[in-house]
Amino acid sequence: MFTASLLKGKVAIVTGGGTGLGLAIAKRMGELGADIAVGSRHSEHLEHGTADLRHAGLDPLAVQVDVRKPEQVDEMVGRVLRHFGHIDILINNAGGNFICRAEDLSPNGWNSVVGIVLNGSFYCSRAVGRHMIARGHGGSIVSILANYVWTGSAGTVHSAAAKAGVMSMTQTLAVEWAAHNIRVNAVAPGPIESPGAAQQLWSTPEAVRRITEAFR
């Protein structure tokens, strides 16, 4: 049984934390005692997400950030440090996805998803990892994967390739940063029923049926 003080004194950044899985992660970590910083590209997501967190009795720091831009990631980390003083946990949850056959995928579509998922996860991990190394207290970095990293899935070549890169990055950083007591892990939670994912990946009853049957 997890207690409300399990993460007391810890500071966590959750990217893509204004909606869906990221918001749920932020809320649960806050309930366990962590101080929460929520990052998102979209101001309306931040507004609604932080309102939800405050309604739950939490006091999050909201940071508008495009994780594809390393200078914005560095500024996010700087703001969190100025506000809370340190960072203990990073959740790389920011993502982008849409169904598109490989032969129809534009370079811009490819670069957009790879930029958010793979590049963004690295920029955030690097910025937070530098702080953790300099501070000398260790920490934890967790990235969100997808099951099709291992299986493949038609229409997700951009996301699958990016998430596979994140898995490899996770394994490499775990080896490199173990000496600094920084734990680097990744999890693939499976399909999550949230407005963003549902609209992009299973927007029809038939798609929902196929996914539901596959995970029974």
Catalytic pick from 84, 98, 110, 148?
148
Q: Residue 144, SS3? A: strand
Q: What is the rounded CA–CA span in Å between residue 54 and residue 63?
A: 15
Q: Is 148 among the catalytic positions? A: yes
Q: What is the rounded CA–CA span in Å between residue 26 and residue 38?
A: 7
CB 21 within 8 A of CB 99: no
Q: What is the rounded CA–CA span in Å between residue 64 and residue 50?
A: 12
One-letter amino acid of 39: G
**End-to-end CA separation in angstroms for the chain:** 27
Instruction: Supply the residues annotated as catalytic.
Output: 148
